Structure 1
């Protein structure tokens, strides 16, 4: 179980690094540091617009959709008898698709729980 969690965390971190784009070399702490960004979301040091939460979430959802689509295409190719689509590749692609979907569902569940926690806070 711990290996699965570590694998998911490493995939999330890798996706986060890809999503940052030009900010990939920036230390992770500057993304959270409120003084590092101007009020309009532009990084003070580089002048690059930092991706927002919605953009990062959309990128993650697009990536999950892409992985699922590729898995389905590979599965279909295997069923049609394509020699390039061997069983091992199909199974790995299906597992990657499954892990990506489960991670996305878990993120959604935690976001909903966080929203409910905030809404139930006393004023």
Structure 2
């Protein structure tokens, strides 16, 4: 399985999936739900973290094909993606708590 990031906005692809899922007409053949959009977002964040880790290891082994700049950018992308994921998780937990505390 290839886990490389193909573009500069790869960690944010999950957000695009979520927007398309909300805007897409309900079609049985191409239905994209919240869970699949969330799964895609988590996979892209994980891929960014894996790539960052791999680049860090290559820089530590002094691989001339890997630049320090590329590694630092990959690390920042992974960090931003993780922070965004953490904020989404916190919002979901807060929404769940609010719903569970509602009086019926």
TM over 0.5: yes
Q: 1:113 to 1:95 in 2, by over 3 A?
A: same
TM superposition score normalised by structure 2: 0.77
Where in structure 1 are there 5+ consecutive unaligned residues? 1-10
CA distance in 2, matches of 1:48, 1:81: 49
Alpha-carbon RMSD? 2.2
CA distance in 2, matches of 1:113, 1:90: 35
TM superposition score normalised by structure 1: 0.66
Where in structure 2 are there 5+ consecutive unaligned residues? 1-10
- Structure whose CA Rg is larger: 1
Tell me if 1:52 matches 2:45.
no
Task: Work out the number of aligned pairs and report it.
Answer: 93
Contact kept, 8 Å, 2:14 with 2:37, in 1: the verdict is no
Structure 1 ranges of 4+ moved more than 4 A: none
